[in-house]
Amino acid sequence: MYRYDDIDRTLVNERVAQFRDQTRRFLAGELSEDEFRPLRLRNGLYIQKYAPMLRVSIPYGLLSSQQLRMLAHIARQYDRDYGHFTTRQNIQYNWPKLEQVPDILADLASVEMHAIQTSGNCIRNVTSDHFAGVSPDEIADPRAYCEIIRQWATLHPEFSWLPRKFKIAVSGAPLDRAAVEIHDIGLRLLRNERGELGFAVLAGGGLGRQPIIGKQIRDWLPELELLGYLEAILRVYNRYGRRDNIHKARIKVLVKALGAVEFARQVEVEYAANREFAPVLKRAEVERVAGFFVPPDYEELPEQGVPANADAAFAAWHRHNTRAHKAPGYRAVFVSLKKHGEAPGDMSGAQMDAVADLADRHSFGQVRVTHDQNLVLADVPQRDLAALHRALEALGLATPNIGTLTDMICCPGLDFCSLANATSIPIAKQIHEKFSDFDYLYDLGEIQIKMSGCMNACGHHHVGHIGILGVDKHGEEWYQITLGGSARENAALGEVIGPSVPRSDVADTLARILEVYVNRRGDDESFLQTVRRIGVGPFKERVYAAVDTAA
Amino acid sequence: MRRLIRQREIVADDWRYPGEAGTGLQVLRLVELRDAVAAGTAPASGAGVWLEPADEVEQLAPLLPRVALVVLNFPKFGEGRGFSQAQLLRQRHGFTGELRATGKIQRDYLFFLARCGCDAFDLDPAENLEAALAYFGTFTVAYQPSSDRDVKLRSRPAA
């Protein structure tokens, strides 16, 4: 993975000193809350319901075991011994003390980490495919480009005060595990007939109050032109994005207002006009950074499946929580943070330490965070899988539910977040309780539930196969259900099935929806395929007929 | 008299902003400068012009030979269009006169503004200018080439 040099190290250390000074001035009354807010937000520090919340950047979700141990240390030392992994592959701490945040940042800097630009109206953490570098279907490893974008975006002189937050995702595989179509800018790595690398560029995607799927504005961007073209997009957005209304300020609103064709034209005009000054990547720099992401020293190992005498728990875990690897004899392994009864994405300090040890023992000392709030040990020899399974099971991290209904995305919701309208974690627990039969979950197959406690959509509900959105009705929590969304390639927004349902009825409503699926599905037809084929009508009928009968 | 930071020194201002009375050279709004040029009453050099965030630098560009001072207004915290105005004036339009930021800007913004080519800073009246001077050096390194030359860069663009 990428290692800091003197410039990187100096920058994060100077950032710590800067924030220490800003915090001191705020606590001394030299900075007002209004003045301090945009400064602290640029270091991921929110003021939440009960305490500040600190969001730490995990660039494109990649961690060393040493860094994961530091995250555990921070959880223990400054928080209540846990952290929450997010859909931007970051980690959030819910209970730090404001005056201790500079010390936390200094601890992070000691392991080449930071919280720079994890919130605020600036370019946020670049996200990517959690199987980058190991997936058999990959065109090229996206991580070098992610790191190059991370550096370019960090403390950018011109684009640090944008109209609104700005999110970039990069995918290097035809199967889109990075949700590039719902990002402000989505980049898809391509290889042309001459074997050269480049990008398809999408812009104007995003969720929130006005969910929009991104539009492709450039079919082929040569790789070395990446930063110059990003500058052109950002400059058009910085100049012309709306600043009069926070809800209309994302780039998606500008792209929609101009139309994707006109937006693309303006970007091309700006790009052409800026040739003399636009940054051009040097081949040597790309190679320098790519050199940090070369494959580890894989052994030559035979492929080995699940032994015939393996116990059922191992077989189920192997089937659901491990994935194919491009190196023979290896698998990529999910560490499930979706144990039934626990808040999705949460992890204790002890669990983090233990997974760091497992990464050292079984996966070249690296861990990835997925955007659906699990971890991945990406390079595990198949001969180690049984031992790894036993160890994860003992830690409560082997729930064999990856890709199933209970592997849901869930925001912190009203329990922590001051923006939320409704809770999400208790709803996740309600769903866990209702759907505790794994045979039923396996029979249902792949279903993604994504849940947000408000329309800001941190839980990506619009693109869940089943989306759940918490709404407030006269002080009561209600939940709106959407069906048919997807964040994969050919992304789609879910369709609302009807009036929202009360808090106590969410899991029962899902049961009725799943009943329709089981009754109507064709052979090997997934939930999403069935919804796309028959539409939301039959589901709606079943859900609301039941309500009428009950009334 | 207004004090400001110019070329890293605290100086008294010798200009009057639009709407300000008193002595000193008058800074014109963009539309006023354009009208004066159209009427043939604009000076051939040494003018000062005031840009709001929504003003297009492209409209000012042809008049720049007449201009010695451009004031970029930041009417509220978080307003970011001035950073692009500054870059465009310095890079694409080759402006070499005084490029001044005014409005809701504090010491914490100096590093970014200076990187975009601003060389004069009329900070929020609550700011302490003497204390602010140290903040140009908040960072000594940067990842991006820009309009300044003060930081150590990861790599300079091909010259």
Q: How close is the nearest chain A Cα to the Cα of B99, in Å? A: 15
Q: What pLDDT digit, counting tens, does each position of A28-83 carry?
A: 999 999 889 999 999 999 987 677 899 999 999 999 999 999 999 999 999 999 99
Q: What pLDDT digit, counting tens, does each position of B8-45 carry?
A: 999 999 999 999 998 889 999 999 999 999 999 999 99
Q: What pLDDT digit, counting tens, does each position of A175-210 carry?
A: 999 999 999 999 999 999 999 999 999 999 999 999
Interchain proximity A151–B84, CB inside 8 Å: no
The half-sphere exposure of B36 on its side-chain side, counting CA atoms within 13 A, is 19
Q: Is a pLDDT exceeding 50 seen at residue A506? A: yes
Q: How far is CA B10 from the centre of its chain?
A: 15
Please work out, in degrees rounded to the nearest 5, the angle formed at the alpha carbon of residue A346 by the alpha carbons of A484 and A115. Answer: 95
Strands (E), chain B: 3-6, 9-12, 15-16, 25-29, 47-51, 67-74, 98-103, 120-122, 141-142, 152-153
What's the pLDDT band for B157 if we cut at 50, 70, 90?
very low
Q: Which residue from B79, B145, B154 is facing A161, i.e. has the nearest CB?
A: B79
Contact list in A for residue B147 (CB cut-off 8 A) is: 157
Kindly state the tokens that stand for B131: 């204390």
Q: A520 Cβ partners below 8 Å, 6+ apart? A: A530, A534, A538
Q: Would the CA dihedral through B133, B139, B140, B145 be positive or negative? A: negative
Q: In terms of DSSP H, where are the helices of A274-311? A: 283-290
Report the residue of chain A nearest B104, measured CA to CA: A35
Tokens 């936390």 found at: A104
Q: How close is the nearest chain A Cα to the Cα of B61, in Å? A: 14
Which residues of A have a CB under 8 Å from any CB of B?
A: 7, 10-11, 14-15, 18, 22, 31, 34-35, 38-39, 121, 151-152, 154-163, 235, 238-239, 243, 273-274, 276-277, 279-280, 282, 285
Strands A466-473 and A449-452: parallel
Q: What pLDDT digit, counting tens, does each position of A474-487 carry?
A: 999 999 999 999 99
Interchain proximity B143–A154, CB inside 8 Å: yes
Q: In terms of DSSP H, where are the helices of chain B? A: 30-39, 57-60, 81-90, 110-115, 129-132
**What distances in angstroms separate CA A157 from CA B56, B104, B110, one per listed residue?**
20, 17, 10
Interchain proximity B141–A14, CB inside 8 Å: yes
Could you please state the CATH topology (level 3) that the domain comprising B3-153 is classified under.
Rossmann fold (3.40.50)
Q: Which residue from A11, A160, A285 is facing B112, i.e. has the nearest CB?
A: A160
Beta bridge partners of B50: B29, B71
At residue B158, φ and ψ (nearest 5 deg) are: -55, 125
At residue A177, φ and ψ (nearest 5 deg) are: -100, 5
Q: B33 Cβ partners below 8 Å, 6+ apart? A: B42, B47, B49, B60, B63, B66, B67
* Maximum pairwise Cα distance, chain A: 70
Q: How close is the nearest chain B Cα to the Cα of A37, in Å? A: 10
Q: Is a pLDDT exceeding 60 seen at residue A315? A: yes
Tell me what pLDDT residue A260 has. 98
Contact list in B for residue A121 (CB cut-off 8 A) is: 78, 80
Q: How far apart are CA A470 and CA A457, in angstroms?
A: 10
Tell me what pLDDT residue A547 has. 60
At residue A241, φ and ψ (nearest 5 deg) are: -65, 150
Size of interface A-B (CB pairs under 8 A): 96
- What letter does residue B121 receive in the DSSP assignment? E
Q: How many CB atoms lie within 10 A of CB A88?
A: 23
Interchain proximity B80–A162, CB inside 8 Å: yes
Contact list in B for residue A161 (CB cut-off 8 A) is: 78-80, 83, 112
Interchain proximity B139–A15, CB inside 8 Å: yes
Query: Region A262-268: what's the mean pLDDT?
Result: 98
Q: Is a pLDDT exceeding 80 seen at residue B154? A: no
Interchain proximity B91–A277, CB inside 8 Å: yes
pLDDT cut 90: percent of chain A above it:
93
Contact list in B for residue A155 (CB cut-off 8 A) is: 111-112, 139, 142-143
Contact list in A for residue B108 (CB cut-off 8 A) is: 18, 22, 39
Interchain proximity B139–A163, CB inside 8 Å: no
Polymer length in residues for chain A: 551
What's the pLDDT band for A546 if we cut at 50, 70, 90?
low
Beta bridge partners of A92: A55, A84
Q: Which residue from A39, A152, A243 is facing B144, i.e. has the nearest CB?
A: A152
Please work out, in degrees rounded to the nearest 5, the angle formed at the alpha carbon of residue B150 by the alpha carbons of B145 and B156. Answer: 30
Q: B18 Cβ partners below 8 Å, 6+ apart? A: B26, B27, B28, B29, B32, B50
Strands (E), A284-364: 322-324, 330-335, 346-348
Tell me what pLDDT residue B59 has. 97
Q: How far apart are CA B83 and CA A248, in angstroms?
A: 21
Q: What pLDDT digit, counting tens, does each position of B95-143 carry?
A: 999 999 999 999 999 999 999 999 999 999 989 999 999 999 999 999 9
Q: What pLDDT digit, counting tens, does each position of B42-69 carry?
A: 999 999 999 999 999 999 999 999 999 9
Tell me the domain boundaries of chain B. 3-153
Interchain proximity A276–B83, CB inside 8 Å: no
User: Which string of b and e fits A157-184 if b means at least 16 CB within 10 Å?
Assistant: bbbbbbbbbbbbbbbbbeebbbbbbbbb
Tell me what pLDDT residue B153 has. 76
Interchain proximity A157–B144, CB inside 8 Å: yes
This complex has an ipTM of 0.96
Q: How far apart are CA A439 and CA A514, in angstroms?
A: 14
Tell me what pLDDT residue B158 has. 35
Interchain proximity A282–B155, CB inside 8 Å: yes
Tell me the pTM.
0.96
Domains in chain A, start-ordered, CATH in brackets? 1-113+311-402 (3.90.480.20), 134-290 (3.30.413.10), 409-550 (3.30.413.10)
A2, A158, A243, A288: best to mutate for the B interface, most B CBs within 10 A: A158
Tell me what pLDDT residue B146 has. 86
Q: What pLDDT digit, counting tens, does each position of A343-358 carry?
A: 999 999 999 999 999 9
Render A348-376 in DSSP notation, one character per residue: EHHHHHHHHHHHHHHSTTEEEE-TTS-EE
CB A26 within 8 A of CB A36: yes
Query: Region A91-116: what's the mean pLDDT?
Result: 96
What's the pLDDT band for A272 if we cut at 50, 70, 90?
very high
B83, B116, B128: best to mutate for the A interface, most A CBs within 10 A: B83
Q: Which of A121, A135, A223, A122 is nearest to A178 (CA)?
A: A135
Tell me what pLDDT residue B159 has. 30
Mean pLDDT across chain A? 95
What's the pLDDT band for A548 if we cut at 50, 70, 90?
low
Q: How many CB atoms lie within 10 A of CB A300?
A: 7
Strands B47-51 and B25-29: parallel
